[in-house]
Structure 1
Amino acid sequence: MLRRDLKQATFQVFFIFFTIGVFAFLLSSPAAAQPKGEPIKIGWIAELSGTWSFFGATGLTAAQIAEEEINAKGGVLGRPIQVIPMDNRTDPAQAASAARMLDTQHKVLTFSGPTSSDTALAVYGYAEQNKVPFVVPVAAFPRLTRPGTEWTFRVEPDAVGWGYAIVKFVEKMKPGASIALIYSDFALQRAIVAGIKYQAERSGIKIATDIIFPQNATDATVQAAQVKSKNPDFVFVSGGGAFDVTLTNQILDLGIKPEQIIHPFGAVKMILGWGPRSVGSYYGTFFDHSLGGLNEYGKGLITKFTKRAGYIPAYIENFCYATVYLIKEAVEKAGTVDRTKFRDAMRNINTKEITTGIPMVFDKNGARKEYMYFLQMKEVGKDTYQSKEAFYIEWDPEVIPVYQLAP
C-alpha cells in the first residue's frame, strides 16, 4: 500500500514539473512572443476604387498577409507592424491628399501601396518635399527614381526597361520583325512604349503602327481593324485596367493569332479575363505560380492568398507582400523608426526578395536592378491558369536612357 502511494506521489510530482517545463518552453518560444507597444505604421495608399482598383485591392490583401505573418512572429523590434490602407481612388489628387493625412495625422514611418504610376507620382511629390520615405511596390514609371531622388525606392523594375526587354524578346523570336503598338494613355504604358521605340530602332525591329487610347476608352473595334490591316508579326497590347481585357478580345475577334500578342504584364484577373482564346500569347512578369524556384515564402503566399482571395497571386501581389518584408528588414537594420535612419538603411540594403531569392539592391536614386520573365500561356481555366517560361533577361537600369525617355 505504501509502495503504491509512493509511486502515485512520484508520478504526480513528475507530472507537475513536466507541465511547468512545457509551459516555460512555450513562453520562451519566439513564436509565442507577442509584439507590444506603438505600432510601426506603413501608410498604404492604394487604388481601392477607380480604374486600377483590381490591382490596388489585390495588392492590399497580399500586404495584409505579410503584416499578419510578421506580427505572429514577434513583429519588428518587438513592436507590431501596421498597414494602414487609404483609398486613392486612382486619382493623383486624392493620392496626395491621402499622403498628407497619413503623414500629419497617422504619423506613419513610410508610404507604400500605389500600383498606378500616375497616383504614385503624386505620392512621390509629397514624399520628396516633406521627407517621408516612400517604398513603391508596383508602380514602374522611371520618374519615381529620377536623378536626385532622396526618399523614394522602387521595388518593381522601371517601365521603360520593360519596353527594352520586349524588343529583345521579339528580336530573339524573329530578327527584323514588325510589331504593332496598341495601348492606353497612362504613364505606365507611355513609358513602356518609349522603351520599345528606342530599342526597336537599334535592334532593327519595325513599328507597324502606333495607336493610343484615352484613359476612359471602352471600345477598340475600329482600332483593332487598323492593326489587322498592317499585318504585323507581333502586337503589343496594353489597355488600362479592365479595358485591357476588352482590347485583347477585340484583337482576337479580328483574327490576330494568340502567338502574335505580347502583353507587357499579366495580373491574374487580366489573364483569366483574356480567357482560353489567349492560350499561346505572351506576357511579361516578375513572379508567377508557374515559375520554378519559388521558396517556402513564395509557395506560402500562393497558398494563403488563394485561400483568402479565391484566385492565385501573381507579380502585383508578390511585390506588395515582399515590400512589407523589405520594410521590416530596413527597420531592423536601422534599429529605430526614425525616418532618416530608415531611409539610410533602405539605401544600404543588400538583400533578397523574400519569395524568390532575387537580389534586392537599390542604386543612388532608389532604382532596383532590372530583370523580367516572359511567359507563354498554356492553359486558362475559370480561376487558374498555367504558363511556361519563354524568355528571361537581366539588365542594368542605365543600359538605356530611361530618364530622358520618360522624364
Structure 2
Amino acid sequence: MKKRGIKWIASVTMSVMLMGGLLAGCGSAGDSKVIKIGAVYELTGGTATFGNSALNGAKLAVKEMNAKGGVLGKQVELAIADNKGEPSEATNAMTKVITQDKVVAVTGFTTSSNAIAASTVAESNGIPFITAAATNPKVTVDEKTGEVKKNIFRVCFIDPFQGTVGANFVLNSLKAKKAVILIDNSSDYSKGLAQFFKEAFTKGGGEIVGEEAYLQKDQDFKTILTKIKGSNPDVIYVPGYYEEVGKIIKQARELDINAAFVGGDGWDSPKLLEIAGAPALNNTYFTNHYSVEDTSPASKAFVDAYKKEYNETPDAMAVLGYDAANVMMDAIKRANSEDPSKIRDALAATKDFAAVTGKITLNDKHDAVKGAVIIEFKDGKQSYRETVNP
C-alpha cells in the first residue's frame, strides 16, 4: 500500500506539474491572442503635451493596424505607462511594462533624460525599445564605452544634426553673426543641443557673445535676460522645452529685447503660444521633425485620420509617436516572431520605411537618417520656412 500510495502521489504530482507548465505556456506571449507593446510617455509633468500627443499618435497607428488584421494574425495591445517627465519615474515605468505587463517591445519617450535613464532597463532585460523623439546621442550610444546599445533605437534625428541645422539657418538665412545661448542646465537635451549649435555656429564664422543657464520650473528670467540684453545679440538660442521657453520669450519682449529667438523641437507644443502670446513669438524659429503644411499623400492621410480621431491638428510629437509605433510593428512583422532578440535584429535592419516624417533608415548607431524642417512663427501661427536634409 505504501509503494502504491507513493507512486499514485508521484503520478498526481507529475500531472499537476505538467498541467501547470501547459497553463503557463498558454499565458506566454507567443500563445496569447494579443501582442503587447509598451508605450511609455510623459503623460504628466512639465512636458505632458509632448507625451500625450505622441501616445495619441501611437494609439492611432495601433488602431489602424488592428483594423487591417493586426500583426502576425494577432491584435496589438499597448501597455501604457506614465514616466511623469522624471528620469527616476522613467526607469520605474519601463520596469513595469517589461516585468508586469510582459511586453515584447517598447516604444515611447519624447525627452532625452528620461529615455537615457529608461534605456538601461530595456538594455539589461534584452527588450527592444524605439524612442519617438529623444534626440540626445546618449540615448542609443553608451556614454562611457562608446558602444551602441543593442536594443535601443529612435525614429527621430539627433542633436548634432539638429544643432548644426539651427546654426546654419541662423548664419545663412537670418544673416546673424552674434548669438547668446541660454541653456536649461537640468536637461541633457538642452545641454547637448547647445553644444552642437555652438560648435557649428563658431565654425561658420559666428560669435558667441554670452552663455547663460536656467533650470526647469524656473519662473522669473528677467535678471538673466537683462544681462543678455547688454550683450546686444542678433539672436538668442534657447534649446529648451516649451514651458520655460514661452516664459523666457514673453519676458524678453517685455524688456524690449527684439532679437530673434531660435530653438529646437522642444518648442513644439500649443502651450508655447498660450504662454508667450502671439506678438512675442514673431521673429522666432525652431528646428522640427515635421510641418503640418506637408502636402504629401502620407502626411495628408495621417492629418485627416488624426483630426477625425481626436478633433485636433497633430503636432510633430503626434507624428513621431505614430511613426515609432508603426516602425516597431513593421519590425515584428519582418521578424515573424515575438522573440525580442529577433525583433531587435529586424529593427536594426530597417531601411526606407515609408513613415509620415519621411523614409526612415536606421544607421549603425540606431539613429534615423532623415531631414529637418525650420518652423517660423507668424502672428501666433506656425509657418513652414525650409527643409534641410542630412
TM-score (ref. length: structure 2)? 0.85
Q: Could you report, residue by residue, the CA deviation over 1:142-194 in whole angstroms, capped at 9, with x for unpaired residues? A: 11121332110111111232111111111212557011112322111111001
Counterparts of 1:387 and 1:336 in 2: how far apart (Å)?
43
Give the equivalent residue in structure 1 for 2:112. Answer: 117
Q: Which residue of 1 aligns with 2:78?
A: 83
Residues in 2 aligned to 1:58 and 1:176: alpha-carbon distance in whole angstroms:
34
For 1:264 and 1:218, locate their aligned partners in 2 and report how far apart those are by CA, in whole Å.
20
Structure 1 range deviating more: 94-103 or 305-314 = 305-314
Partner of 1:350: helix, strand, or coil? coil
Q: Give the superposition deviation at 1:38.
A: 2.1
Aligned to 1:63: 58
Range with bigger deviation, 166-175 or 337-346: 166-175
Aligned to 2:201: 200
Instruction: Measure, in 2, the Cα distance between the counterparts of 1:300 and 1:176.
Output: 38
CA positional deviation for 1:302: 2.0
CA contact (8 A) 2:107 2:328 kept: no
Secondary structure of the corresponding residue to residue 209 of structure 2:
strand
Q: CA shift at 1:241, angstroms?
A: 4.5
- Aligned: 1:107 with 2:108: no
Query: 3-state DSSP class of the match of 1:107?
Result: coil
Which SS does the other structure have where 1:282 is aligned?
strand
Corresponding position of 1:333: 334
| Secondary structure at the counterpart of residue 138 of structure 2 | helix
For 1:130, the equivalent position in structure 2 comes to: 125
Question: Which amino acid letter does the alignment assign opposite residue 119 of structure 2?
Answer: Y
Are residue 141 (structure 1) and residue 144 (structure 2) matched? no
Cross-structure match for 2:264:
264
Identity of aligned residues (%): 23
1:221 aligns with 2:216: no
Are the counterparts in 1 of residues 359 and 370 from structure 2 also a CA contact under 8 Å?
Answer: no
State yes or no: 1:243 paired with 2:244: yes
Residue equivalent to 1:48: 43
State the alpha-carbon separation in 2 of the partners of residues 233 and 216 from structure 1. Answer: 27
- In structure 1, what is the Cα distance between the partners aligned to 2:384 and 2:165? 17
The yes-or-no answer on 1:288 pairing with 2:303 is no
User: Which amino acid is 1:233 matched to?
Assistant: D
1:213, CA displacement in angstroms?
0.5
TM-score normalised by length of structure 1:
0.81
Could you tell me how far 1:131 is from its partner in structure 2? Answer: 1.0
Look up the equivalent residue of 1:81 and give its one-letter code.
Answer: V
Q: Answer yes or no: is 1:191 the counterpart of 2:192.
A: yes
Partner of 1:9: none
**2:242 and 2:175 mapped to 1: Cα distance?**
31
Q: Contact 2:245–2:272 (CA<8 Å) still a contact in 1?
A: no
Partner SS for 1:210: strand
Moved more, 268-277 or 94-103: 268-277
d(CA) in 2 for partners of 1:286 and 1:369? 12
Matches of 1:252 and 1:370 in 2, distance apart?
Answer: 34
- Cα distance in 2 for partners of 1:102, 1:388 equals 38
Q: 2:307 and 2:283 mapped to 1: Cα distance? A: 25
Query: Hey, which bits of structure 1, 4+ residues long, moved more than 4 A?
Result: 307-310
CA distance in 2, matches of 1:353, 1:225: 47
Q: Secondary structure at the match of 2:122?
A: helix
Return the letter of the residue paired with 2:362. F
Please tell me the residue identity of whatever aligns with 2:226.
Answer: A
Q: Aligned partners of 1:71 and 1:174: how far apart in 2?
A: 46
Unaligned runs of 5+ in 1: 1-35, 396-407
**Residues 56-107 of structure 1 deviation map (CA, whole Å, 9 limit, x = unaligned):** 1121111111111111111111111111110111121221122222112211
Residues 303-312 or 204-213, more deviating: 303-312
Task: State the distance in 1 between where 2:229 and 2:188 align.
Answer: 26
2:359 alignment partner in structure 1: 359
In structure 2, how many angstroms separate the alpha carbons of the residues matched to 1:349 and 1:151? 13
CA contact (8 A) 1:322 1:353 kept: no
Asked if the contact 1:37–1:80 (Cα under 8 Å) also holds between the matched residues in 2, the reply is: no
After TM superposition, give the deviation of residue 310 of structure 1 in Å. Answer: 4.7
RMSD: 2.0
Partners of 2:198 and 2:384 in 1: how far apart?
Answer: 27
Cα distance in 2 for residues equivalent to 1:338 and 1:379: 51
Change (3 A) 1:378 1:241: closer
Q: Secondary structure at the match of 1:257?
A: coil
Matches of 2:140 and 2:84, distance apart in 1: 23
User: In 1, are the aligned partners of 2:39 and 2:106 still within 8 Å (CA)?
Assistant: yes
Q: How many angstroms does 1:370 deviate by?
A: 4.4
Figure out how many residues of one structure are paired with residues of the other and give that number.
351
In structure 1, distance between residues paired with 2:132 and 2:351:
17
CA distance in 2, matches of 1:248, 1:183: 14
Please say if residues 46 and 87 of structure 1, whose CA atoms lie closer than 8 Å, have aligned partners that are also in contact: yes
